[in-house]
Structure formats: C-alpha cells, structure tokens
Chains A and B, each alone.
Chain A
Amino acid sequence: GAVVSQHPSWVICKSGTSVKIECRSLDFQATTMFWYRQFPKQSLMLMATSNEGSKATYEQGVEKDKFLINHASLTLSTLTVTSAHPEDSSFYICSARDANRGHEKLFFGSGTQLSVL
C-alpha cells in the first residue's frame, strides 16, 4: 500500500534554533499534503495545506512565518519550525493525498515529536 515517510521521528533542539521536518510519499504522487499538530490528549489540529508548486494555505491562528512549508515536488513537503521555543514542542504529523485516488485516500506519516529546550 501507499506509504508516507516522515523524518525525523523525534528531535530535540535548543530554543531559538530551527528544525526541518520532511514528509515524503514513497510510491505515489502527492499533489496535496497536510500538516497537523497534536498536543497530548488533544486532537490533531490542521496547521496548513500544502499544494505542490504553490504557496501553502495556513489555518487561522497559524503563523506562516513561524512554520515554513515548502512543497517543491510531488513527493516531498517540508515543515520548518523557525526560531523554535518551548511552546512549539508538540507532535507534528503530515498526510499526503494520492492524486490518482479519491477523497478518502489520505495517507499519514508516523509523526515527529519535537521537544524544544
């Protein structure tokens, strides 16, 4: 089946540094990728929708200059948390839509746990 690879699965960084998270669709073309954030005991909250070759669409309340999203190819989207602070510590998860399938064919990465010291 379709696989989405998310890397790294776990990262610790110092406050003020930037962290890049990669999301790759391994065996399909993903015209659209989504980035979610999950706090403990909370639901996944959509941060932004990433379309290949165009600017990402951010949800209300998400700082686009803080969370930089790049979707330069049909198989790769990246989320960069810039000047990270402890409050950015969270579980980040991506999903990718297979362009050749219908609405429900979203595949999720295994997530990245970010801890900012």
Chain B
Amino acid sequence: AQSVTQLGSHVSVSEGALVLLRCNYSSSVPPYLFWYVQYPNQGLQLLLKYTTGATLVKGINGFEAEFKKSETSFHLTKPSAHMSDAAEYFCAVSYSGGSNYKLTFGKGTLLTVNP
C-alpha cells in the first residue's frame, strides 16, 4: 500500500523568499514520485517527477525536488517565490509496477505568496 503525507495544508511566503513544500511517502516497492500544481479553475499540471536515476530532479517554473530514500521524502523547493506561484500543490506516488499508472495523492498544500 502507498500513502502520501504533505506537511502543512497552507504555506505562506513572501515574494522572493524560499519555497519549501514537504512531502513524505510510504511505499513497499520503489516509488515513482510526482509533484503537480493546480491553479484556480484548472486541471492538475505536472511540475516534475522522479522515476529512476538522479535523485535531484528539476521541473518547470524553477521548481526542483530531491528524492531521499532514507527519509522517504520528496520535498519541493524553489529558491525565489513569484506571485504567479500561488496555487495548490499536490505530491503523488505511484510505483514501478509495469503498466500501473495509478497515483496516490497527498491532501495538497495551498501556497500563497505575499507581495
């Protein structure tokens, strides 16, 4: 069984400040990990993913995340927040189970950026 825990349902930062959104997972098999962003009234958009290989992955809009197996974490960061980053962010896990494409999502973290 898989599960995802996103610490903090709401994170507020100032424009230009570091963004850190936390995600911990549990999986009995090697995971695939994802971060999605959802802007108001829009569908989820993939920010970045980890499947295999390099544990530090870079995504769109300056975001990156590092897979830390020992900590079962996949935290999302961005060095400098922009106003346009305000959105809901979801961490998700799947596993390398062949044709299994099912995702298990965290509860989401709402990011607000203050001017």
Contact = CB atoms under 8 A, between A and B. Distances in A.
Q: Looking at chain B, what size class is its interface with the partner chain?
A: 20 to 34
Contacts, number: 52
A110 B36 CA distance: 13
Contacts of B51: 103-104
Interface residues of A, number: 24
Interface in B81-99: 90, 94
Contacts of A46: 102-104
A110 B102 contact: no
Given A104-B46, A109-B43, A44 B101 contact: no
Contacts of B32: 103-104
**Secondary structure of the A contact surface, majority rule:** strand
Interface of B: 4, 9, 32, 34, 36, 41-46, 49, 51, 90, 94, 101-108
